[in-house]
A and B are shown apart, each in its own frame.
Chain A
Amino acid sequence: MKAPAGRSWISYAFPRGTVGTWQTVAAVAAAILIAAARGAAQPPALPPGLAEPKPPPDEPALPPGLEDEAEKTEAEPEPEGEGLLDRLHGFWEVRAGVRTEHDRRQPRDFILGETRLQLDFERVWDRVSMGLTGDILFDAVLEEVDFDLRKQGISWTPVDSVDISAGRQVFTWGTGDLLFINDLFPKDWQSFLSGRDEEYLKAPSTAVKTSWFNPWFNVDVVYTPQFEHDRFITGERISYWDPLRGRRAGRDDEVDYNAPSDWFDDDEIAVRVSQNISGHEVAAYGYSGYWKSPAGQRLIPLQASFPRLAVYGASYRAALGKGIFNVEAGYYDSRDDSGGDDPFVRNSEFRFLVGYERELANEFTGSVQYYLEHMMDYDAYRNTLPFFVEPQREDRHVVTLRLTKLLLNQDLTLSGFIFYSPSDNDAYIRPNVKYKITDNWEVSGGANVFAGEDDHTFFGQFEKNTNVYAAVRYAF
């Protein structure tokens, strides 16, 4: 084994042609001596079959770092240089959805047909961070290119106990699962009902959020200087029940609306005071602004309106048994119709929800919720309701069920969400399948199924919009 090494050493030290014979002989002799000496210092290993196993077969060898004479192999620190591209994230997706039956109120059977590129960029300093998230959307159903700025603004921690974030951003609070009482931030019902990813249920607002943290409670105040209404159902993509026409309305009779829009006059303020006491999450909420989706009707000109609204509520969430229990309530004070006798403004309401979630089996979770909308001043509502309008019930009860199962090392997610209203006798079912092909590629598919006995109920009105959809997304 050692001989070749010796030879190469010789030929290196005495290049051919420059040495005499006696020198060669001496060198070879020296090399033999060196090799012999090395051989004597290192006894040869035993041949296979005679080898003594070391360590014993059922005992693990020590890992690097625990060996007696551990040679420390210091890992080279990775170069820190982060370029612009390293900080740029987002996704690209293609999504298509189609109605399961033709809707004569809509020009197309496709409810979705779009490709979307989201870019996300963030810079972080010590007490300040800046973020920008924007979507570019090529929409084949509405035949338009849309730009949706999801986030643009700065976050700042002026003193240790205060966080301020200003600009365009998404807010969420409250305890319901796809049911909202004290969360009066804008929702995108069009995206939700037509098969976009669930993250698009929340629409961004341009607002300032100030949070103050102290040992007793936390205070969050969100001030929106210009009213941000929901992206509600207008008939553009999804047909709805028009109570004045007494029929379904679609693309040809889109909702004409007039939303309050004067900066600093038509503003909104939402407040939350919260505390987490050893896992018991308690919060009180207040809101002053407007109904987030049209809740009023102007007759001249005939326009949907957003009457004034104030909401007061509270929530509680904690572990209970093997699961999570939550309860939330809110009083919706419809300030433009305090007596409930204006037939063109939605009445005040009391809203309540209670929910429970737990693991049912390995990687299989289930949750149930009960939700109530109770109309205040129901007699006044009935007495003043125009004779041709289908009356609502005093109480709207909704129960929901969510089931989620993870499979294939959590790469495959099967989920289902069901809303069912026993009082309206209607339902909305959202099955979904997601599969992560790689860390970057994901395919998904699902459906939005609406069913109802009557055409005028909350979910029943969307019956003709029942759709199935599929999407491919590449995240980076």
Chain B
Amino acid sequence: MKTNLIIAFATLIAVSAPVLAQDAPTIDEIVERTNRVAYYQGDDGVARVAMTITDDQGRTREREFTILRANTDDKNEEQKFYVYFHRPADVRETVFMVWKHVGSDDDRWLYLPALDVVKRIAASDERTSFVGSHFYYEDVSGRGIDEDVHELVETTDTYYVVKNTPKDRGAVEFDSFTMWIHKDTYIPVKIEYESGGEVYRVAETLGVEDVEGFKTVTKSRMRDLKSGGETTISYSDVDYNVGLPEDIFTERYLRRAPRTYIK
């Protein structure tokens, strides 16, 4: 009788736990879902990316590339990226390939078409500019969620406001960063990076579209408040679950771009 009661109680908890979680997700759930929405939607994805980099004097540079991404494990950790450059003209047909690892350095390759050379490149600091823009490598490919301590500082009608403090302060240039995460979609609408009590770097989501049922950021901006420069990114021709074969992410397709996916 007593055992039955315990089982019944345990079942009740087990059944009601997810419901409770949906009502008020824990900080870990918020961070995990945000990470998934930002970097891991679908099994794979394709997008054409246009970047406008504006420096403090208003001069602009354009970058245009197609990005192919595949999730290569079920844990939302390992991924492979294939970045094919269309513009500017001097890097046209250059390919940058990354096998992203969580917990160890990424593997990176660069294909230079004029020399037909496949170069292996050393992993760089993740907080280094991606192709000269105000976005860092880490902003493009994701920051490991275990690298920060997360704290839910506020829940508003619209947002979960999450403060993230790095576990290894020496590895990064910020003291903390605060994310305004949209409660319905888990899209980080704004991220403010802070150092010495001052916000110096701001990422903003400027546009969202529904693509095949996935809420997708189609326009975002990174502002460097110290230098005054900014970079905007717009994503077009977004497609999910296209069934990218894993051999796309090999030397064969560095030397010969997969035209089925890259127009």
Contact = CB atoms under 8 A, between A and B. Distances in A.
A56 interface: yes
Given A62-B182, A89-B89, A163 B256 contact: yes
A84 B205 CA distance: 37
Interface in B181-201: 182, 184-185, 187, 189-190
Interface of A: 55-56, 59-60, 62-66, 72, 75, 89, 91, 124, 126, 129, 155, 163, 169-173, 175, 198-199, 201-202, 211, 213, 218, 274, 276, 279, 281, 317, 319, 322-324, 326, 357-359, 362-363, 365, 409-411, 436, 438-440, 442, 473, 475-476
A156 to B, nearest CB: 11
B207 A65 contact: yes
Nearest to B245: A160
25 contacts: A59-B158, A59-B161, A60-B189, A62-B158, A62-B182, A63-B205, A63-B206, A63-B219, A65-B208, A65-B215, A66-B208, A126-B259, A163-B256, A169-B116, A172-B117, A173-B118, A199-B115, A201-B115, A202-B116, A211-B252, A319-B123, A324-B122, A409-B132, A438-B61, A439-B87
Contacts of A326: 120
Interface in B207-263: 207-210, 215, 218-219, 229, 236, 247, 250-252, 256, 259
Could you say which interface size class chain B belongs to? 35 or more
B256 A362 contact: no
Contacts of A322: 105, 122-123
A59 B159 contact: yes
B131 interface: yes
Given A65-B207, A322-B123, A439 B89 contact: yes
B57 to A, nearest CB: 11
Contacts of A169: 116
B175 interface: no
A65 B229 CA distance: 26
B259 A363 contact: no
A326 to B, nearest CB: 7
Given A66-B187, A199-B112, A213-B252, 4 more contacts: A60-B189, A65-B218, A170-B115, A319-B105
Interface string B67-95: 00000000000000000000111101000
A170 B187 contact: no
A476 B88 CA distance: 8
B55 interface: yes
B89 A62 contact: no
Nearest to B90: A475
A172 B158 contact: no
Interface in B112-130: 112, 114-118, 120-125, 128-129
B189 A129 contact: no
